[in-house]
Amino acid sequence: MFRKWTYKLAQRLRDEHFKVWFDDWCLRPGENWIDGLARGVKESEKLTAILSPEYINGEWTTFEVHLAILKDPSARKRRIIPILHTEVEIPPELAVRQALDFSDTHDNTLKYEFRMAQLMATLDPSRDYPEDFDSF
């Protein structure tokens, strides 16, 4: 379920004309995962860390986040955007960054659209950032 949700999020961002690096689309057949993830982090301006138990326990996701942290250790460039898919304890290296909470949107289409608008405005500052759900 987590993977399917992440895929739909990536697809939605791509449909909204964001350039999205997603392993299923961008890792080349036979490519070394380490090289591929390093290339993805290098080519990306932002990295969304979709936080769930699967993500927290994944070795490759940890590797990916640590590569991105090296490019923005103090979070000044807001290069890493933690997205809370499921209530989990956020790892210390991501806890210093404000997460965007999607955990309460799985059965609420309007709230999902509100969070998507916030995410897209974070990725593209020329978009208005909706701050108040009640006026969305």
CATH assignment of the domain containing 66: 3.40.50.10140
Model confidence at 1: pLDDT above 80: no
User: Does residue 72 have a pLDDT over 90?
Assistant: no
Q: How many independent structural domains does the chain possess?
A: 1
| Residues spanned by the domain of 53 | 2-135
What value does the mean pLDDT take over residues 19-31?
A: 91
Q: What pLDDT, in 10s, does the model give residues 74-87?
A: 888 899 999 999 99
Query: Residue 121 corresponds to which amino acid?
Result: A
Q: Is the pLDDT of residue 101 over 90?
A: yes
Contacts of 73 (CB under 8 A, 6+ apart): none
Q: Which residue, 47, 48, 51, 49, is CA-closest to 89? A: 51
The band of 97, judged by pLDDT with boundaries at 50, 70 and 90, is very high
CB atoms within 10 A of CB 129: 11
5: nearest Cα among 97, 87, 103: 103
